[in-house]
Amino acid sequence: MTSGFSLKTDAIYGRIYFEFLCENKRMVKEMSNDQIVINEGGLLTNQETYDAVRGYVVAAQKQVNAAVNSAMVTAYWNIGKQIYEACGESERAAYGKQLLSYLADKLTEEFGKGFTVRNLQMMRQFYLTFPNANALRSELSWTHYRSLMRVEEEAVRRFYLEEAVKCGWSSRQLDRQINSFYYQRILASKDKDSVAAEIDTLEPRPEYEKIIKDPYVLEFLNLPANEHFYESDLEQALIDHLQKFLLELGRGYSFVARQKHFNVDGRHFYIDLVFYNYILKCFVLIDLKIGDLTHQDIGQMQMYVNYYTRQMMNEGDNPPIGIVLCADKSDTLVEYTLPEDNKQIFAAKYLPYMPTKDELRRELNLEEFEKEGKR
């Protein structure tokens, strides 16, 4: 299923580059101050050595990521096929439900939580949506395919699949393109090149995917997630500071979770910070964004709030509130989110215990954090 051509090419280029750098170099010696000193006539520098060594690491990261995702896609397609052949179209009938429940219990006991009934249903749907195993693309991960399965029209789904392969979209880029109706926009636009190019600004593609950040890979390998996997150094510093600020604010906040994970219809979500305010008797959910704030960000927080309203509230609790913070060099935007039809209670009931927008802007001074990071 995988040709591995691009991965081998990366490794070959890294080796050739390193050999080229070293070909005419004289022996170097390492001094006590850890700086590499070149004998006269030599040209090898620390940076050149680092670049060459880094090339090996990046090539290896790509190989590991491709190998694991290829194995996942193949395994999940075969599992889906097996389930379909066992229960046919009767997945929701008594036998189908019993089979899925039996498989989920046994597989979870042996291999971890990646094999819930919902995930097994998704694998069956994967087989039905892409019935030809030979047509599966090695460039696409399981996360890509999950996004593609949400596209109902076959022609539109095929378009996104081909564009993802041709343009090398990351799974986040593909998700954004689907959510922003890229197919419809590209058809309607007279300036198709500009529409096609905007994704690299709105959702820049990483040089390589970090395998430990993919929750589906962690489930497949039965590895625990770490909250800091999902934060850049800058985000981590901002969230650390925000967590400390709210706990010291003295308005009833108690810490609940960081990078709180939950699953809706097989899709993974992470909330940056979750607090419980014992004065208001409600959860306070906080999501931090760096860069431009989009309608998608606001909508996602609304979904978080609605999820907590339906699934996490205890008897006597008030509706949760969400805060979306967008840290930007020019200004920090603050948006509050309440459950549907509850916005009128915010000013009277919640506002006295909430950090003000001015307080949050002051605490999330992006330029100050970037300066700290450079020291």
Q: Is the pLDDT of residue 79 over 80?
A: yes
User: 255 - beta bridge partners?
Assistant: 275
CA of 70: how far to CAs of 42, 121, 135, 216, 341, in Å? 43, 20, 13, 13, 45
What average pLDDT does the segment 169-181 reach?
A: 85
What average pLDDT does the segment 16-39 reach?
A: 43
Q: In terms of DSSP bridges, do strands 253-264 and 28-30 run parallel, antiparallel, or are they unpaired?
A: unpaired
Long-range contacts of 87-92 (CB under 8 A, 24+ apart): 91/121, 91/124
CATH of domain 228-374: 3.40.1350
State the Cα–Cα distance between residues 245 and 65, nearest whole angstrom.
38
Model pLDDT, residue 105:
93
The Cα diameter of the chain in Å comes to 80
The winner for highest mean pLDDT among 117-126, 214-223, 322-331, 365-374 is 117-126
- In this structure, which amino acid lies at residue 186? I
Closest CA to 138 of 5, 238, 16: 5
User: 36 - beta bridge partners?
Assistant: 30
What average pLDDT does the segment 72-81 reach?
A: 94
* ∠ CA 180-186-192, rounded to 5°: 125
What average pLDDT does the segment 212-239 reach?
A: 59
Q: Is the pLDDT of residue 216 over 90?
A: no
List Cβ neighbours of 136 (8 Å cut-off, separation of 6 or more). 1, 73, 74, 77, 130
Long-range contacts of 56-62 (CB under 8 A, 24+ apart): 56/11, 56/14, 56/15, 56/18, 58/10, 58/14, 58/207, 58/208, 59/7, 59/10, 59/11, 59/14, 60/11, 61/208, 61/209, 61/210, 61/211, 62/6, 62/7, 62/10, 62/208, 62/209
Q: Is the pLDDT of residue 21 over 60?
A: no
Report the share of the chain in percent with pLDDT over 90. 17
Model pLDDT, residue 296:
76
Model pLDDT, residue 247:
77
Q: Is the pLDDT of residue 25 over 70?
A: no
Model pLDDT, residue 145:
94
State the Cα–Cα distance between residues 139 and 51, nearest whole angstrom.
25
Model pLDDT, residue 246:
78
* Tokens encoding 218: 């962690």
Give the pLDDT band (50/70/90) at residue 240. confident
- In this structure, which amino acid lies at residue 350? Y
User: 263 - beta bridge partners?
Assistant: 268
State the Cα–Cα distance between residues 344 and 347, nearest whole angstrom.
7
The winner for highest mean pLDDT among 16-25, 107-116, 179-188, 285-294 is 107-116
Q: Is the pLDDT of residue 136 over 90?
A: yes
Neighbours of 29 (CB within 10 A): 8
Closest CA to 147 of 136, 161, 134, 133: 161
* Helix residue spans in the chain (DSSP H): 5-23, 46-87, 94-111, 117-129, 142-149, 154-167, 171-179, 182-188, 192-197, 199-202, 215-221, 233-248, 295-311, 357-363, 366-374
* Tokens encoding 347: 């000013």
Model pLDDT, residue 37:
45
* pLDDT, the chain, mean: 75
**Exposed / middle / buried, residue 230 (Cβ in 10 Å: 0-12, 13-18, 19+):** middle
Backbone angles phi, psi at 286, to 5 degrees: -130, 130
DSSP annotation of 312? T
